[in-house]
Amino acid sequence: MVSCTSSKPDYVQAPFSGLDVLSTNDWWNREANEILNLKVPREEVVAFGIYTSANNKLKLTAQLFPLFPEETREVRLALYQEGEWKEVAKQNLNEIGWSTTFEIEGWDQQQEVQYKLLHGSQASFEGSIRKDPSLKKEISIAALSCNSNQDRGDRENYVRNINALDPDLVFFAGDQSYDHKEHTAAWLKFGMQFREVFRNRPCITIPDDHDIGQGNLWGESGKKSLLPEGNDGGYYHHPEYVKMVERCQTSHLPDPYSTHSLEQDISSYYTSMLLGGLDIAIIEDRKFKSGPNGKIPQQGPRPDHILNPNYDPNSIDLPELVLLGEEQLNFLDAWGTNQATSDKIRVVLSATGFCGGAHLHGSLDNRLHADLDSNGWPQTGRKKALTKIKQANAVHIAGDQHLATVIQHGINEFEDGPWAFVVPAIVNDYYSRWWWPESEKPGENGNSLLPWTGRYLDGFNNKITMQAYVNPESTANGAGFGLIRFNTETREVTFECWPRTVDVTSASAQQFVGWPYTISL
């Protein structure tokens, strides 16, 4: 064990206080914690690698456990080429977050290559970079979100099921961490739980509100929030902590569309990538959104909860309010009208849905008329976003809501907008939601599989057509993951929704009622 007794510590001091204390400064002097053991054997310090391969560029992030002062900060990348292992690059770790990203230009995406991440003389992590599935007629994406710390156990059932289904890409839509002030330890925990699903396939991870240490996030272009709840807009925690979270979770994504720094020197990561016959846009639907506190009339005990069903929805849709922001809308426009990829099926990935898709929040007796955390608000911003997504003829995949749904959005009229699949929570013990119309009556143009499908207005008077939902029988039910199958010949998209407890390899395996659901583009 190393001790530091000099007046100038021989470790890098964190630029923030009270945050990430388990993994910064003299981290080895901390007591054992409930997240995971950070004092691993030195041959295990390379926790995992996570990567994407797009636009002829490989981006591979190495995530390590915290290192002692005397240990090298250098990480090496080796590739198996021409029948032998060759070390091709070296990188120094960022000690705030303990990660570094390798970038290799001119990557041949038609090859499959084994890789190793190496540290010192003992530690390594091995996986494979898949070749692009350009010859496949069906491309599949597994989608997950909300890895609540109410269950700190392993995720073997998810790993088994996802690997059995063998998707071409895995997408984690946010809330990989619920330990608000200890992201590094929680991110390491997440990685150890799920590394066997992304060791050998590309993976997209995007942070959401809990990852950056807030219950909800209205980012307002990176401004400083003055409230722990963040409902005045912006980020409450130190910007270097926020940047660390985004660095660990998004540095392996394709290069960002925007190179402009936002307030507090926070940057953007929204981008796009090709995967076989798919053209995928990854957007940030929280980072630019306006906070409600002080901007709109409060209609409940919290600035973000509207309880009054008789309020005027137009009173909260003010012209100065922002959802995606103009530059991100311009990105979506350019992406969705790119003639070079017009033959691809287009997909938009983001943290949450573009409507109020739930009525009961947290418990069966807590009915909210409208939740301003959802992207149903501001309504004008929603319409702008959905118009761009529909223009691209794209489908939308998201998480966050702890309530799986399949919805066709209405922009001006019912069913004139894109389809959206919000996937269930990985762990649903934290905060369940239910789709439960007060009338308990079906809407028009629904289906017979579930009682409350069809056309409805959400709490913002947005038009939505609900076609599938998973109401948990108790707060611990309803957990699972989504799988989306894209047929590049017929241009059909099938949404699958699998319960956490089901073994997909079993002949009797059943999805949630209402799934699979197939649409045609």
Q: What is the DSSP string of 336-378?
A: HT-GGGTTSEEEEE-SS-SS---SEESSTT-B-SEETTSTT-S
CATH number of 138-173+269-349+351-520, picked from 3.60.21, 3.30.70, 1.10.287, 3.10.20: 3.60.21
What is the pLDDT confidence band of residue 295, given thresholds at 50, 70 and 90? very high
The per-residue pLDDT for 475 is 64
Q: Confidence band (pLDDT; 50, 70, 90) for 5?
A: very low
Residue that wins the pLDDT comparison between 151 and 2: 151
In the predicted model, what is the mean pLDDT of residues 477-487? 96
**Residue 246 near residue 213, CB atoms below 8 Å:** no
Residue type, 478: G
State the DSSP code for 300.
S
Q: In this prediction, what percent of the chain has a pLDDT beyond 90?
A: 95
**The two structure tokens encoding residue 83:** 């029948």
Phi, then psi, of 328 in degrees rounded to 5: -70, -35
Place of tokens 């913002």: 460
- pLDDT tens-place string over residues 127-172: 999 999 999 999 999 999 999 999 999 999 999 999 999 999 999 9
What's the pLDDT score for residue 473?
86
Return the closest-CA partner of residue 242 out of 260, 279, 276, 268: 268
Type of residue at 127? G
- Sign of the CA dihedral 354, 357, 359, 363? negative
Residue 50's identity, in one-letter code, is I
* Cross-strand partners of 433: 361
Domain boundaries, the chain: 27-129, 138-173+269-349+351-520
Decide the pairing of beta strands 463-469 and 454-457.
Answer: antiparallel
Where does the pLDDT of residue 476 fall: very low under 50, low under 70, confident under 90, or very high at 90 and above? Answer: low
Its pTM stands at 0.96
Which residues, listed in sequence order, are joined to residue 117 by a DSSP beta bridge?
77, 125
Sign of CA dihedral 429, 246, 74, 108: positive
Q: What is the per-residue pLDDT for 486?
A: 98
Tens digit of each residue's pLDDT (9 = 90 or more) over 317-373: 999 999 999 999 999 999 999 999 999 999 999 999 999 999 999 999 999 999 999
Positive or negative torsion for Cα 406, 434, 430, 20: positive
CATH architecture of structural domain 27-129:
Sandwich (2.60)
Res 3: pLDDT? 37
Per residue in 395-432, pLDDT (tens digit) is 999 999 999 999 999 999 999 999 999 999 999 988 89
For 56-112, the pLDDT digits (tens) are: 999 999 999 999 999 999 999 999 999 999 999 999 999 999 999 999 999 999 999
Sign of CA dihedral 97, 98, 103, 107: negative
Looking at the chain, the whole-number percentage of residues with pLDDT higher than 70 is: 98
Reported as a single tens digit per residue, the pLDDT across 362-402 is 999 999 999 999 999 999 999 999 999 999 999 999 999 99
Question: Is it the case that residue 466 has pLDDT exceeding 60?
Answer: yes
Query: How many whole angstroms separate alpha carbon 328 and alpha carbon 335?
Result: 10
Asked whether the beta carbons of 362 and 355 are under 8 A apart, the reply is no
Q: State the residue for tokens 């925990």.
A: 189
What is the rounded average pLDDT for all residues in the chain? 95
* Long-range residue pairs from 449-455, CB within 8 A, at least 24 positions apart, any chain: 449/513, 449/514, 450/513, 450/514, 455/410, 455/414
Rounded CA separation 165/408 (Å) = 26
* pLDDT tens by residue, 160-195: 999 999 999 999 999 999 999 999 999 999 999 999
